[in-house]
Amino acid sequence: MYVRVMFSSEGASPITLIHAMADLGFTPVMGEYDFFYEIEEQAKNYRETLKKLHQQLKGLNVMYTLTTKPG
């Protein structure tokens, strides 16, 4: 799973976001996307990861998009 983030000058700093994402197991990457997470192809794991991601980013005043690609 790849995550692209749009920051706001009124929101959390990039470093704060990196720490928040790392707490969930996401790795910062350079290039087209900002973070990567290796997710199992089980639907339950995917839903749980999305739920945790949304909760973690809530209140940080950032916008995000998700992309999944087959391994």
Q: Give the pLDDT confidence of 4-23 residue by residue, as tens digits.
A: 999 999 999 999 999 999 99
Domain assignment of residue 35, given as a range: 2-67
Q: Quote the number of domains for the chain.
A: 1
Q: What is the pLDDT of residue 19?
A: 97
User: Is residue 40 pLDDT above 80, yes or no?
Assistant: no
- Supply the DSSP symbol for 19: H
